[in-house]
Amino acid sequence: MLSLTWLRVAGVAGVLIGIGLLLPAWGEDVKDKNDKEVKDKKDKDKEAKDKARSVEEIMEEMHGDNSLRRKIGKAAFANKLGDAKEPAEQWVKLAGELSKCEPPKNKDLEMTVKKDGKDVKVNAWKKRCADYEEQVQNVAKAVKSEKVQDVRDALNNIARSCLGCHNAHQPN
Ligand code: HEC
């Protein structure tokens, strides 16, 4: 009885394959799986690359020639904030990576901040990275809201953060 049922199932499958109904579905499954594996591998490679990036490389991408900051500045200047959307997203991502890196100098340096009216000591690099990340997020928010003046203000705020961090953590 059972074997007859299976024969039938196999028979039906055979017919379906024969008329090309079942195979495309299977084929797609395999293809999806392959695509997924390829994608997973790409994600992993990319993750590894992101991890390996140094502060220097991140700085270069954010602030060097043809940098994300410059692209956004140009777009704001030309009143074309649409062009700034993608660079802004990339910038937020890179800024978030910064705190995971070790600075080349003074990684254990502490600084005092006010918390609930009290002085507390925190790791200076982590604090500066967090502040910087917040400022970059402000740029991205302003870009999204399409307010050119807000974008310019947010960019100017960031420009004031460079020196403090470099003085503390950039090698001479
Ligand atoms: C949170 C800390 C921090 C902030 C904020 C920061 N930087 Fe940096 N930056 C660094 C450190 C640390 C280095 C040194 C990296 C190295 O030499 O390994 C550096 C290096 C650089 C370099 C040299 C990169 C290279 O190729 O050698 C440039 C250019 C730069 N920063 C631009 C800026 C500008 C412009 C700003 C502000 C808009 C800024 N940075 C804000 C930490 C910071």
Residue 147 binned pLDDT confidence (cut-offs 50, 70, 90):
very high
Residue 39 binned pLDDT confidence (cut-offs 50, 70, 90):
confident
Residue 163 binned pLDDT confidence (cut-offs 50, 70, 90):
very high
Other C-beta atoms closer than 10 Å to the C-beta of 98 total 22
> Relative to the CA of 105, which ligand 1 atom is closest?
12
Distance 41 CA to ligand 1 centre (A): 31
Q: What is the pTM of this model?
A: 0.75
Mean pLDDT, rounded, for 95-112? 96
Alpha carbon distance 22, 13 (integer Å): 7
Q: What is the mean pLDDT of the chain?
A: 85
Length of the chain in residues, anyone? 172
Could you tell me which of 103, 164, 104, 108 has the C-alpha nearest to residue 131? 164
Residue among 60, 138, 166 whose CB has most ligand 1 atoms within 8 A, to mutate: 166
pLDDT given for residue 35 in this prediction = 73
Residue 51 binned pLDDT confidence (cut-offs 50, 70, 90):
low
> Relative to the CA of 129, which ligand 1 atom is closest?
1
Task: Check if the beta carbon of residue 144 is closer than 8 Å to that of residue 107.
Answer: no
**What structural domains and CATH numbers belong to the chain?**
54-169 (1.20.120)
Closest CA to ligand 1's atom 22: 59
To which residue do tokens 């310019």 refer? 152
Residue 36 binned pLDDT confidence (cut-offs 50, 70, 90):
confident
pLDDT given for residue 15 in this prediction = 53
Q: Which residues line ligand 1 (CB under 6 A)?
A: 54-56, 59-60, 63-64, 98, 103-104, 128-129, 132, 158-159, 161-162, 165-166, 169-171
Strand partners, 115: 118
Distance 32 CA to ligand 1 centre (A): 42
Contact partners, residue 83, CB within 8 Å, separation at least 6: 71, 74, 75
Task: Check if the beta carbon of residue 124 is closer than 8 Å to that of residue 105.
Answer: no
Other C-beta atoms closer than 10 Å to the C-beta of 112 total 11
Q: For residue 47, what is the enclosing H or E element?
A: helix 22-52
Residue 28 has pLDDT above 80, yes or no: no
Closest CA to ligand 1's atom 3: 165
